[in-house]
Amino acid sequence: MSRVITLREALGEAMSEEMRRDKSVFLMGEEVAEYNGAYKVSKGMLDEFGPKRVIDTPIAELGFAGIGVGAAMNGLRPIVEFMTWNFAVLAFDQIVNNAAKTLSQSAGDFSCPIVFRGPSGSAGQLAQQHSQTFESWLANCPGLKVISCVDPADAKGLLKSAIRDNDPVCVMESESLYGLKGEVPTDDYTVPIGKAAIRREGTDVTLVSYNKMMEVTKSAAEELAKEGISAEVIDLRTIRPLDYDTIIQSVKKTNRLVVIDESWPFAGVSSEVAYSVQRMAFDYLDAPVIRVNAEDTSLPYAKPLVDAWLPSVAKVVKAVKEVAYRPA
């Protein structure tokens, strides 16, 4: 059985179900309790679980992230919500230097079962300091797992897996797609961390993306189909660990690859995917890999510039025609 709900509702269900299942799970962050969450993801949770398990924090990301790390090392399973990952830069010392390294520094004696979650990427005209993508930043650090998925059913299952995981997990959401609707199962389920999803089967080109760029990618695949180009669409869902096998097997079938990534082009997720394909499937490629990224500048404020800065359906279609040697 399933029903159609929004991404925010799916994420809220994941947290509530895990808090009912495990008394050691609790939520903390700015406006998560009295205000029902900055994006209403935690709506109703204060009423059900009370102020000891749904905790409003001061505007002090480094401080409450540190409290969460300490709680995780002492047997609890915190969920730390950042109003945006842009603000979490202040907490990177706790995430990167403490949470990620607890297991190795303690020679396996201490784990750090903590989830850091919140929206990543642009969300309209929020300008430079509120529109950055952090998947590649965090995935660069051994010891962290990184999830980036907006499909409601998968996002719910992945968040439940993250809460149950004994390692620190960073969950990257999308501020602009919290209202995205999809069918979500009614029964208890999880989605494995580290496994990509094939959203559309195809034979001519592989399109790889994640988070809200999946919506752009799926729309581009529909446009390409009208022109007789069959695109296979892969949703990474998890950035670290990355599902190399699904990507490679798809490229071996289609012989062409375009990677769509909202982050900047230098040293991003798209760079890792492109490098890995040329290393593991070079002989299968019939054209150079092309990446479609955000422009290599800070995000402008004006809406026409925002639209020009982001990857778009038109940019993806153009890239596919290049790798397919079709006239634009």
What pLDDT is stored for residue 123 in this prediction?
86
Percent of the chain with pLDDT over 90: 94
What pLDDT is stored for residue 292 in this prediction?
98
Residues catalogued as catalytic: 61, 130
What pLDDT is stored for residue 97 in this prediction?
96
CB atoms within 10 A of CB 69: 24
Give the C-alpha distances (Å, rounded to integers) separating 129 from 61, 84, 92, 121: 16, 10, 16, 10
Residues of CATH 3.40.50.920 domain(s) within the chain?
A: 197-323
Q: Is the dihedral of CA 12, 149, 296, 303 positive or negative?
A: negative
For the full predicted model, state whether its pTM sits above 0.75. Answer: yes
Q: What is the mean pLDDT of residues 228-236?
A: 98
In the predicted model, is pLDDT for residue 126 greater than 90? no
Give the C-alpha distances (Å, rounded to integers) separating 260 from 49, 78, 210: 40, 32, 8
What pLDDT is stored for residue 127 in this prediction?
79
Beta-sheet pairing, 115-119 with 77-81? parallel
User: What single letter denotes the amino acid at residue 133?
Assistant: T
Q: Per the structure block, which two tokens stand in for 121?
A: 């990427």
Closest C-alpha among 280, 283, 276 to residue 241: 276
What pLDDT is stored for residue 171 in this prediction?
98
Domain 197-323: CATH class, spelled out: alpha beta
- CA 217 to chain CA centroid, Å, is 15
> Are the CB atoms for 118 and 86 separated by under 8 Å?
no
In sequence order, what are the residues at sequence separation of 6 or more whose Cβ sits closer than 8 angstroms to the Cβ of residue 257?
A: 205, 206, 208, 247, 251, 273, 274, 277, 285, 289, 290, 323
Under the banding of pLDDT at 50, 70 and 90, the label for residue 203 is very high
Q: For residue range 166-177, what is the model confidence (pLDDT) as tens digits? A: 999 999 999 999
In the predicted model, is pLDDT for residue 19 greater than 90? yes
Q: Per the structure block, which two tokens stand in for 222?
A: 């529909």
The torsion angles phi and psi of 167, rounded to 5 degrees, stand at -105, 160
Architecture of domain 2-185: 3-Layer(aba) Sandwich (3.40)
Residue 37, sorted as left (phi over 0), alpha (psi -120 to 50) or beta, turns out to be left
In the predicted model, is pLDDT for residue 58 greater than 90? yes
Residues of CATH 3.40.50.970 domain(s) within the chain?
A: 2-185
Q: What is the mean pLDDT of residues 52-71?
A: 97
In the predicted model, is pLDDT for residue 275 greater than 90? yes
Under the banding of pLDDT at 50, 70 and 90, the label for residue 73 is very high
What pLDDT is stored for residue 197 in this prediction?
98
User: 3-state class of 116 per DSSP?
Assistant: strand
What pLDDT is stored for residue 125 in this prediction?
82
